[in-house]
Amino acid sequence: MLMQEVERWNRWKESTRGAIDPDLRYANLQGLNLSGYDLSGVQFHGANLSRADLSETDLGGADFSEANLSEANLSNTDADSANFTKSMLVNANLTKASLTKANLMQANLSKAHLSETDFRAADISTANFSGAVIDNTDFRKAILHPTSPIDANFSSVDLSQTFFTEK
């Protein structure tokens, strides 16, 4: 079903909203073009989405825990309230992505591109931002552990009302 054209998928997803959330746990979706799909609420736990194009996609409430999203394109996505716990987002493009209230605990965002990314009220405690490019990014009210690896390039970042946790 997922391999169908985007309009057909989105019509089906809308007609089943709340009744069916597709289960794609551990699926190999490496390199697929899923741009524009409504993937809200979909279960991607442990899935391989490396190098996938998820740009301009609705990922709200989706579960990407322990998924591999390395080198994936998540630019302009709506991933509000999504779960990225322990996910691999190495060298991923999250430019202009909205991750408001998302869970990114222990996520690996090393070398990720985070320009104009919205992390408001997200839990990014223990996330790894080593080598990430963080430009004009909003971390207001985010939860961040003070010892999280943040060896990153920061520019025009808003950390107001950020909550720094103790382990």
Q: What is the 3-state secondary structure (H, E, C) of 28-63?
A: ECCCCECCCCECCCCECCCCECCCCECCCCECCCCE
Residue 127: give its domain's CATH number.
Answer: 2.160.20.80
Beta strands in the chain (DSSP E): 113-115, 133-135, 143-144, 153-155, 163-164
| Per-residue pLDDT tens over the stretch 99-135 | 999 999 999 999 999 999 999 999 998 898 888 888 8
pLDDT at 148: 52
pTM assigned to the model? 0.88
Count the domains in the chain. 1
pLDDT at 151: 57
| Per-residue pLDDT tens over the stretch 62-77 | 999 999 999 999 999 9
Q: Which domain holds residue 69?
A: 1-167
CA distances from 88 to 125, 127, 140, 155 (A): 15, 10, 23, 23
